[in-house]
Amino acid sequence: MSRGTRLRSLPAVTDPDAALVRGLKCEAPESYRELLDRYQGPVFAYVWRLVDDPSEAEDVTQDIFVKVFRKIGDFREDCTLKTWIYRIAAHESSNRRRWFSRHRLREVAASVRDGQAIAYVDQLAHPGRGPFEHTEAREHRDILSVALREIDPRFREAVVLRDISGFSYNEIAETLGISLGTVKSRIMRGREALKRQLLRHAPALVPGNNGWQTE
Protein backbone atom coordinates (compact mmCIF):
# COMPACT_ATOMS: atom_id res chain seq x y z
CA MET A 1 0.00 0.00 0.00
CA SER A 2 1.42 3.40 -0.97
CA ARG A 3 1.90 6.29 1.42
CA GLY A 4 -0.82 8.26 -0.38
CA THR A 5 -3.27 5.38 -0.01
CA ARG A 6 -2.50 5.07 3.69
CA LEU A 7 -3.05 8.78 4.28
CA ARG A 8 -6.32 8.89 2.30
CA SER A 9 -7.68 6.12 4.51
CA LEU A 10 -7.51 8.37 7.56
CA PRO A 11 -10.63 10.31 8.59
CA ALA A 12 -10.87 13.96 7.55
CA VAL A 13 -10.05 16.46 10.28
CA THR A 14 -10.95 20.08 10.90
CA ASP A 15 -7.93 22.32 11.34
CA PRO A 16 -8.23 24.46 14.49
CA ASP A 17 -5.59 26.72 12.92
CA ALA A 18 -7.67 27.47 9.80
CA ALA A 19 -7.79 31.21 10.49
CA LEU A 20 -4.04 31.24 11.09
CA VAL A 21 -3.46 29.46 7.77
CA ARG A 22 -5.52 32.08 5.95
CA GLY A 23 -3.48 34.86 7.55
CA LEU A 24 -0.20 33.17 6.67
CA LYS A 25 -1.24 32.73 3.06
CA CYS A 26 -2.12 36.42 2.96
CA GLU A 27 1.34 37.17 4.40
CA ALA A 28 -0.11 39.00 7.39
CA PRO A 29 2.77 39.90 9.78
CA GLU A 30 0.65 39.23 12.86
CA SER A 31 0.00 35.69 11.60
CA TYR A 32 3.72 34.99 11.35
CA ARG A 33 4.16 36.18 14.93
CA GLU A 34 1.24 34.05 16.07
CA LEU A 35 2.67 31.01 14.31
CA LEU A 36 6.00 31.40 16.11
CA ASP A 37 4.33 32.07 19.46
CA ARG A 38 2.20 28.95 19.08
CA TYR A 39 4.62 26.45 17.58
CA GLN A 40 8.27 27.49 17.86
CA GLY A 41 8.75 26.28 21.45
CA PRO A 42 6.98 22.92 21.04
CA VAL A 43 8.72 22.23 17.71
CA PHE A 44 12.10 23.03 19.26
CA ALA A 45 11.38 20.61 22.13
CA TYR A 46 10.47 17.93 19.57
CA VAL A 47 13.57 18.51 17.44
CA TRP A 48 15.84 18.65 20.49
CA ARG A 49 14.93 15.05 21.26
CA LEU A 50 15.33 13.82 17.69
CA VAL A 51 18.65 15.17 16.47
CA ASP A 52 21.77 13.33 17.51
CA ASP A 53 23.52 16.57 18.49
CA PRO A 54 21.02 18.62 20.53
CA SER A 55 23.22 21.72 20.31
CA GLU A 56 22.08 21.87 16.66
CA ALA A 57 18.37 21.88 17.54
CA GLU A 58 18.00 25.65 17.38
CA ASP A 59 19.45 25.79 13.86
CA VAL A 60 17.22 22.92 12.74
CA THR A 61 14.18 24.66 14.21
CA GLN A 62 15.02 27.86 12.36
CA ASP A 63 15.35 25.90 9.12
CA ILE A 64 11.94 24.33 9.74
CA PHE A 65 10.17 27.65 10.10
CA VAL A 66 11.95 29.13 7.09
CA LYS A 67 10.50 26.21 5.09
CA VAL A 68 7.07 26.73 6.65
CA PHE A 69 7.11 30.41 5.65
CA ARG A 70 8.30 29.63 2.12
CA LYS A 71 5.96 26.72 1.47
CA ILE A 72 2.76 27.89 3.18
CA GLY A 73 1.32 28.81 -0.23
CA ASP A 74 1.68 25.16 -1.26
CA PHE A 75 -0.10 23.86 1.86
CA ARG A 76 -3.18 22.07 0.48
CA GLU A 77 -4.89 21.80 3.90
CA ASP A 78 -5.43 18.05 3.48
CA CYS A 79 -4.13 17.75 7.05
CA THR A 80 -3.92 20.18 9.97
CA LEU A 81 -1.33 22.94 10.08
CA LYS A 82 0.19 21.29 13.17
CA THR A 83 0.59 17.97 11.40
CA TRP A 84 2.09 19.69 8.36
CA ILE A 85 4.63 21.61 10.47
CA TYR A 86 5.67 18.50 12.39
CA ARG A 87 5.97 16.57 9.11
CA ILE A 88 8.51 19.18 7.99
CA ALA A 89 10.18 18.96 11.41
CA ALA A 90 10.47 15.18 11.21
CA HIS A 91 11.98 15.42 7.72
CA GLU A 92 14.48 18.12 8.68
CA SER A 93 15.50 16.27 11.83
CA SER A 94 16.04 13.08 9.83
CA ASN A 95 18.15 14.95 7.31
CA ARG A 96 20.29 16.43 10.09
CA ARG A 97 20.81 13.00 11.68
CA ARG A 98 21.98 11.60 8.36
CA TRP A 99 24.33 14.54 7.90
CA PHE A 100 25.92 13.91 11.29
CA SER A 101 26.27 10.21 10.59
CA ARG A 102 28.30 11.05 7.49
CA HIS A 103 30.31 14.04 8.67
CA ARG A 104 30.71 13.97 12.43
CA LEU A 105 31.31 11.53 15.27
CA ARG A 106 28.23 10.78 17.28
CA GLU A 107 28.25 12.70 20.55
CA VAL A 108 25.63 12.05 23.21
CA ALA A 109 25.30 15.28 25.19
CA ALA A 110 23.93 15.10 28.71
CA SER A 111 22.45 18.59 28.50
CA VAL A 112 22.10 21.76 26.50
CA ARG A 113 23.25 24.80 28.40
CA ASP A 114 23.74 27.68 26.02
CA GLY A 115 21.85 30.62 24.54
CA GLN A 116 18.30 30.31 23.29
CA ALA A 117 18.36 26.52 23.46
CA ILE A 118 18.17 26.37 27.24
CA ALA A 119 15.49 29.05 27.22
CA TYR A 120 13.24 26.77 25.16
CA VAL A 121 14.04 23.67 27.20
CA ASP A 122 13.37 25.47 30.47
CA GLN A 123 9.87 26.29 29.26
CA LEU A 124 9.08 22.61 29.84
CA ALA A 125 9.64 22.96 33.58
CA HIS A 126 6.66 23.52 35.86
CA PRO A 127 6.70 27.21 36.88
CA GLY A 128 5.52 26.44 40.41
CA ARG A 129 8.48 24.26 41.36
CA GLY A 130 11.14 25.38 43.77
CA PRO A 131 14.88 25.40 42.97
CA PHE A 132 15.47 21.78 44.01
CA GLU A 133 12.48 20.44 42.12
CA HIS A 134 13.37 22.53 39.08
CA THR A 135 16.93 21.19 39.02
CA GLU A 136 15.73 17.64 39.52
CA ALA A 137 13.19 18.00 36.71
CA ARG A 138 15.89 19.34 34.40
CA GLU A 139 18.16 16.39 35.22
CA HIS A 140 15.32 13.98 34.53
CA ARG A 141 14.69 15.61 31.15
CA ASP A 142 18.37 15.36 30.31
CA ILE A 143 18.48 11.66 31.21
CA LEU A 144 15.33 11.01 29.19
CA SER A 145 16.78 12.83 26.19
CA VAL A 146 20.03 10.86 26.33
CA ALA A 147 18.07 7.60 26.53
CA LEU A 148 15.88 8.63 23.59
CA ARG A 149 18.91 9.34 21.44
CA GLU A 150 20.10 5.77 22.00
CA ILE A 151 17.06 4.09 20.45
CA ASP A 152 16.17 3.59 16.80
CA PRO A 153 15.26 7.00 15.29
CA ARG A 154 12.04 5.57 13.80
CA PHE A 155 10.87 4.49 17.24
CA ARG A 156 12.18 7.67 18.84
CA GLU A 157 10.12 10.02 16.70
CA ALA A 158 6.93 7.99 17.26
CA VAL A 159 7.42 7.90 21.04
CA VAL A 160 8.25 11.60 21.21
CA LEU A 161 5.19 12.53 19.15
CA ARG A 162 2.91 10.39 21.31
CA ASP A 163 4.26 10.64 24.84
CA ILE A 164 5.88 14.09 24.81
CA SER A 165 4.15 16.10 22.07
CA GLY A 166 0.77 14.49 22.83
CA PHE A 167 -0.18 13.59 19.25
CA SER A 168 -3.02 11.18 18.55
CA TYR A 169 -2.30 8.00 16.60
CA ASN A 170 -3.98 9.48 13.52
CA GLU A 171 -1.85 12.63 13.77
CA ILE A 172 1.31 10.54 14.04
CA ALA A 173 0.29 8.48 11.00
CA GLU A 174 -0.27 11.66 8.99
CA THR A 175 2.92 13.29 10.23
CA LEU A 176 5.18 10.31 9.48
CA GLY A 177 3.30 9.01 6.44
CA ILE A 178 2.80 5.53 7.89
CA SER A 179 -0.18 3.31 8.72
CA LEU A 180 -1.91 3.25 12.10
CA GLY A 181 -0.67 -0.29 12.65
CA THR A 182 2.90 0.82 12.07
CA VAL A 183 2.40 3.76 14.43
CA LYS A 184 1.26 1.46 17.23
CA SER A 185 4.09 -0.99 16.57
CA ARG A 186 6.74 1.73 16.62
CA ILE A 187 5.37 3.24 19.82
CA MET A 188 5.27 -0.14 21.55
CA ARG A 189 8.79 -1.07 20.44
CA GLY A 190 10.07 2.41 21.17
CA ARG A 191 8.73 2.36 24.71
CA GLU A 192 10.32 -1.03 25.31
CA ALA A 193 13.68 0.19 23.97
CA LEU A 194 13.45 3.40 25.99
CA LYS A 195 12.71 1.42 29.12
CA ARG A 196 15.86 -0.65 28.60
CA GLN A 197 17.95 2.50 28.18
CA LEU A 198 16.45 4.11 31.27
CA LEU A 199 17.27 0.98 33.27
CA ARG A 200 20.90 1.61 32.33
CA HIS A 201 20.94 5.33 33.05
CA ALA A 202 18.42 5.86 35.86
CA PRO A 203 16.39 2.89 37.12
CA ALA A 204 14.29 5.18 39.32
CA LEU A 205 12.86 6.82 36.20
CA VAL A 206 11.82 3.58 34.54
CA PRO A 207 8.29 3.96 33.14
CA GLY A 208 5.70 1.59 34.52
CA ASN A 209 6.43 2.67 38.05
CA ASN A 210 5.15 6.21 37.53
CA GLY A 211 2.21 6.20 35.16
CA TRP A 212 3.93 5.33 31.85
CA GLN A 213 1.37 5.11 29.08
CA THR A 214 0.89 1.61 27.75
CA GLU A 215 -2.17 1.97 25.53
Instruction: Let me know the angle formed at the C-alpha of 186 by 12 and 14, rounded to the nearest 5 degrees.
Output: 15
Main-chain phi, psi angles of 34, to 5 degrees: -65, -40
Distance set, CA 122 to CA 33, 45, 95, 96 (Å): 21, 10, 26, 23
Which of 159, 113, 108, 163 shows the shortest CA–CA distance to 138? 113
Task: Check residue 116 and give its pLDDT.
Answer: 38
Task: Check residue 87 and give its pLDDT.
Answer: 96
pTM higher than the cut 0.85 = no
Task: Check residue 98 and give its pLDDT.
Answer: 75
- DSSP class per residue in 108-123: --S---SHHHHHHHHT
Alpha-carbon distance 118 to 190, whole Å? 26
Alpha-carbon distance 70 to 52, whole Å? 26
Q: What is the mean pLDDT of each run of 10 residues along the chain (215 residues)?
A: 46 77 93 94 92 85 94 92 96 83 47 39 41 55 83 94 93 95 96 89 63 46
Distance set, CA 29 to CA 15, 32, 73, 127, 196 (Å): 21, 5, 15, 30, 47
Task: Check residue 12 and give its pLDDT.
Answer: 52
Which of 162, 160, 161, 125 shows the shortest CA–CA distance to 140? 125
Alpha-carbon distance 165 to 159, whole Å? 9
Set out the domains of the chain in order of their start, with CATH numbers. 3-205 (1.10.10.10)
Phi-psi region of 115 (alpha: psi -120 to 50; beta: other; left: phi over 0): left
Alpha-carbon distance 130 to 158, whole Å? 32
Alpha-carbon distance 132 to 125, whole Å? 12
Task: Check residue 144 and give its pLDDT.
Answer: 82
Q: Please give the single-letter amino acid code of residue 111.
A: S
